[in-house]
Structure 1
Amino acid sequence: MVGWAEFIAYAGLRSATGRLAFRDRLGEIRYAVSSHLVDVPVRAGLYFEHMTATPLPPRPSGVALWRSRLARPKWRMWFVYFPLCFVSSVLAISTWDVRKHGQAMPTASDLAMGVWLIGILAAVSLNWRRRFPLQIALATAVVPFVVPLDPVPALIAFGSLLVRRVDRVSVALGALVTASTFVSTWRDSRGTSSASSFWQMFRSGEIGSVHDPLSLPAVIVLTILLVAMTVGVAMLLRYRDRFAKAQIVVEKQQAQVDHLSDEVSRQADRERIAQEVHDALGHRLSLLSLHAGALEVTAGENQKVAESAALVRANAQQSMADLRSLLAMLRQPDSPDVAAAVPTLRDVPALIDETVATGVNLVSTAQLEGIGRLDETTSRSAFRITQELLTNARRHAPGIGVRVLVRAAPESGVEIEVANHLPVEAALEFRPGSGLDGIRHRVLTLGGDFRCFVDDRRVFRVAARLPWVWAAEIGSTWTPGEGEPR
């Protein structure tokens, strides 16, 4: 047996690999046996959903780890670009110092240190190349014209600009970077040894050997190669990013297509169900209305039978209208026209009148304040709850008086109470049927409270309260102390 401490620790360690859902749904329906109320849990559960023991994916290491890190701009800046610019600045300053003063200089001159600091500033400025690509590229391209530094920062900034934009401005800036690269390469190529020229390091010969300066065609070729490599890498990154964005768009469109396909499938199912319900119930309700009309005509002087037949016919016609409204909602649940046809709290007085017309001894109180500003979902649910409770009272306690209270106000929410005496033969103990379970589920879904019980005077009472939700702020529930939303 695993203890609770080990169990909780295990759940915490595995929460990153699967969805560990604790749900505690406890709905209470109070039953009364004699004069004592007993709380009976209808549904209580503490369970796991979609729990998986799939191990965590292995963390990248070695080359894969560095590749994942260098994919981030900050890491690439400080671990690739900055060291590269730092080394290139040191080489450019050292070779320039040798060309200017000769190899007899034991330490770098003050002027060389100042130029080196400018190179460091140019390297650090690359950190803002993504925010100000044009400005950084322009500034770094001008530096080799002013001081004896190489074009590495300018090439990096120009490549970053090409990844983001290719237009006339970038072409003009490319010409400036090309000229800057040529000037820097030509200046370095005037050295005759590996100590005074970076490019002389790649020529064969002993260390310290003297060579002729590079020719103009060689400098032009080196310039073209450097700029072409920069443009090639930038274009590769540009089209890679565009391909990744295109893949994201394709995935989103595919998700939309899948959603629409599912919606079409659900719509087809709704159409099929609506057609079946219409064919089955519509036919029977039409026959009921027809025969009730015939009975009303043939009743003759029997006024009571005629009134009953007229009532049956009117209710059959109203049932047909309700059926058409429900089928329209089933077919088009999001249509505003369909939503407007569904009864709300505004129709509670008409519902009470219809119930009284059926012969039920009903005492009603309806206090409806500000229901025009109440969310339609809450208003429709309140009407259906009232309708179902009155139907239950007629079905289970025929001929017995019913007391109904419907009160709606922003300060207290929507309160619905129905009470009726139990029939003499009815037992005190009862089990809720599908009607009460459906009401309870509807109320709890909307964040309300629901109770049903039998008191010590054998009165069956049902009480439901729904929180007030403003129509202008769907999804935000009113709480005491809050005013009307602005």
Structure 2
Amino acid sequence: MSLVLEYELVGDGARPPWWRTLLLVLPISLLSLASVVFSPLGSAMSAENPDGATVLAAAGALTLAFFGPVVLFWRHRFPFLITVVAALVAVVIPIGNLLAFGALAALIGRRRGPAVWATTALVTATSTWVVIADALAQPREASVSKTILGPPGGDPRAAIDLAPGVVVTVALVGLAVTIGAGFLIRLRRQNATVSTVAQTEREASDRLGDEAARRQERERIAREVHDAMGHRLSLLNLHAGALELNAGDDPRLQQSAHLVRQSAGEAMDDLRGLLQVLREPLGDEPPAIPLSRLPEVVRDSFGAGQVVNSSIFISEAERADPQLSRGVYRIVQEVLTNARKHAPGEPVHLTVEGDPATGVVIEARNRYVPGPVTPAGSARGLKGIAERAELLGGRLQFGLDEGNTVFRVRVELPWREAPASR
């Protein structure tokens, strides 16, 4: 049967600056030296012609008393070891209780649990022993408590006694101050931790507030653009269509009206895409279309009026995350829309392959149709694809190949598993 005493860390692992520990070490070293001087060993050293063993023991005790408190620099790394060793050494060597008390205060301030109270009980027992032994030591110069609390002006070599109440008070005050200091350290560390957590939460709240404000501004801009530009483009499209019908036998006027109507329709498509990008972060995402239905979506959504030769193979599509499914759908939609706008009438070869091991690859190619002027904003579709791919952790590649006659778009997306349902 084994006994395991548990403990836990209080606060974070931050340590005080070295100069603060030095301010603790110096007075403990000086008072520990005083404990050796005013002890039976120190009294024996003050006698005439002390023997060699006494001198050697006194030299060792004085060295330990002065340099021993240096271990307090490591009191946060080895709090239990330093406290226990300091308490036991004080029973054997007259260095006093201050080193053990300093280590115990740090222990209580940074740890809690049964192991802390067991160590406190050990220090209580050893410090009581040290106080009683000091109170029983004779003559007066061999006792710290008698030297400090005895009647003033007495003979240092005289034998005096202290009242039992004084001895008990000395022991209790030392322990009370030590334990109180430990709890004060613990309280300060807990408050610092709470303040740090609160500051982190405030910063997170501020970031969320800024993000919400930006999204609201995007929504406001989207509404204004829709109200201002949507109506005018619709009127332009309507009047261009009427002009085309009433052009009569003037082919130039009919062609110009047709171009105006076609450009207005394409501008409306661009505007809808832009508004979708602006509004998407605020509004609820539409239900994700499963990847297993992607062939149906391609056929139903893009088959009318556009020749699409598609090859779609996705393994374990039901495991895909809804965000991945939605992203693949939007990217395929934009790829085919882009091809329809810039290469009207040309067949599009679409390939979509995916599985959990390799991710999803979307590739589309069509014959390149050069135009005299690139319409303003014609690269917006590819930019939107690139942004959506980046949000999903993927990348976009596009350009001409096969003798600058085929335009190819390739999107690579990492696989995302759907979250486990609870």
TM-score, length of structure 1 as denominator length? 0.54
Q: Where in structure 2 are the equivalents of 1:206-245 lying within 5 Å?
A: 210=157, 213=160, 215-216=162-163, 219=167, 222-245=170-193
C-alpha displacement of 1:414? 0.2
1:69 has 2:18 as partner: yes
User: Which of 331, 334, 339 is equivalent to 1:388?
Assistant: 334
Q: Which protein has the bigger helix share?
A: 2
Query: d(CA) in 1 for partners of 2:407 and 2:402?
Result: 8
- Which one-letter code corresponds to 2:101 in the other structure? L
1:405 aligns with 2:354: no
What amino acid sits opposite 1:422 in the alignment? Answer: V
Which residue number in structure 1 is paired with residue 311 of structure 2?
A: 365
Q: Identify which of 102, 105, 113 aligns with 2:50.
A: 105
How big is each residue's C-alpha offset from its partner over 1:111-140, in whole Å with a ceiling of 9 and x where there is no partner? 947994997899698788657767865665
- Which residue is 2:6 aligned to? none
Q: Is the 8 A contact 1:274 1:330 kept in 2?
A: no
Deviation at 1:408, TM superposition (A): 0.9
CA distance in 2, matches of 1:386, 1:131: 58
Could you tell me how far 1:249 is from its partner in structure 2?
3.0
In 2, are the aligned partners of 1:182 and 1:219 still within 8 Å (CA)?
yes
2:395·2:411 contact (CA, 8 Å) conserved in 1? yes
Residue 331 (str. 1) matches residue 275 (str. 2): no
Question: What residue is the counterpart of 2:101 in the other structure?
Answer: 155
- In the other structure, the counterpart of 2:237 is none
Report the more deviating stretch, 223-232 or 378-387.
Answer: 223-232
Q: How many Å separate the matches in 1 of 2:188 and 2:359?
A: 59
Aligned residues of 1:185 and 1:223 also touching (Cα < 8 A): no
Whole-Å separation in 1 of the counterparts to 2:204 and 2:63 = 53
CA contact (8 A) 2:288 2:325 kept: no
Deviation of 1:365 after TM superposition, in Å, equals 3.1
CA distance in 1 between counterparts of 2:187 and 2:368 reads: 78
SS for the counterpart of 1:331 is: coil
Q: How does 1:418-433 map to 2 (within 5 A)?
A: 418-422=365-369, 426-427=371-372, 432-433=378-379
Q: Which residue is equivalent to 1:341?
A: 288
Q: CA deviation at 1:245?
A: 2.1
Q: Matches of 2:418 and 2:37 in 1, distance apart?
A: 68
Residue 395 of structure 1 aligns to a residue in which SS?
helix
**For residues 255 and 421 of structure 1, do their structure 2 counterparts lie closer, same or farther at Cα, with a shift above 3 Å needed?**
closer
Q: Is the contact between residue 396 and residue 412 of structure 2 (CA under 8 Å) also seen in structure 1?
A: yes
Structure 1 residues 174, 197: CA separation in 2 closer, same or farther (over 3 Å shift)?
A: closer
Tell me how far 1:247 sits from its aligned partner.
1.7
> How many angstroms does 1:86 deviate by?
6.5
* Residue number in structure 2 paired with 1:415: 362
Q: Residues 96, 453 of structure 1: CA spacing in aligned structure 2 closer, same or farther, 3 A cutoff?
A: same
Query: In 2 relative to 1, CA 447–71 (structure 1 residues): closer, same or farther, beyond 3 Å?
Result: farther
The structure-2 alpha-carbon separation of the partners of 1:467 and 1:242, relative to structure 1 and needing over 3 Å to count, comes to closer
Residue 368 of structure 1 and its aligned partner are, at CA, apart by: 3.5
Q: Take 1:250 and 1:379, find their aligned partners in 2: how far apart are those partners?
A: 38
Which residue, out of 385, 392, 395, partners 1:439? Answer: 385
Kept after mapping to 1: 8 A contact 2:314/2:353: yes
Distance in 2, matches of 1:273 and 1:404, equals 37
- How far off its partner does 1:389 sit? 2.6
**136-145 or 437-446, which deviates more:** 136-145
* Residue 91 in structure 1 maps to residue 40 in structure 2: no
Find the residue that maps to 2:338 and give its secondary structure.
helix
Aligned to 1:34: none
The CA distance in 2 between the partners of 1:129 and 1:68, in whole Å, is 13
Cα displacement string for residues 264-317 of structure 1 (whole angstroms, at most 9, x for unaligned residues): 545655665687799899999xxxxxxxxxxxxxxxxxxxxxxxxxxxxxxxxx
The SS at the match of 2:303 is: helix
SS of 1:382's equivalent in the other structure is helix
> What do you get for the CA RMSD once the two structures are aligned?
5.3
- 1:331 partner letter: L
Instruction: Determine what percentage of the aligned residue pairs are the same residue.
Output: 26
Verify the 8 A CA contact 2:18 2:73 in the aligned structure 1: no
Amino acid at match of 1:105: P
Q: CA separation of 1:406/1:89 partners in 2, compared to 1, >3 Å: closer, same or farther? A: farther
Equivalent position SS for 2:17: helix
Offset at residue 214 of structure 1 (A): 5.6
Aligned to 1:183, which of 132, 141, 145? 132
Code of the residue aligned with 2:341 in structure 1: it is R
* Uncovered stretches (5+) of structure 2, i.e. residues with no partner: 1-15, 233-272
The residue that corresponds to 2:247 in the other structure is none
The alpha carbon displacement at 1:416 in A equals 1.0
1:249 match? 197
Report SS of the residue matched to 1:215: coil
Residues in 2 aligned to 1:430 and 1:267: alpha-carbon distance in whole angstroms: 29
1:15-30 to structure 2, matched below 5 A, reads: none
Q: Secondary structure at the match of 2:140?
A: coil
How many residue pairs are counted as aligned between the two chains? 356
Q: Which moved more, 1:118-127 or 1:345-354?
A: 118-127
Distance in 1 (CA, whole Å) between partners of 2:133 and 2:60 is 14
- CA deviation after TM superposition for structure 1 residue 402, in Å: 1.3
Question: Is the 2:35–2:94 Cα contact (8 Å) retained in structure 1?
Answer: no
CA contact (8 A) 2:44 2:54 kept: no
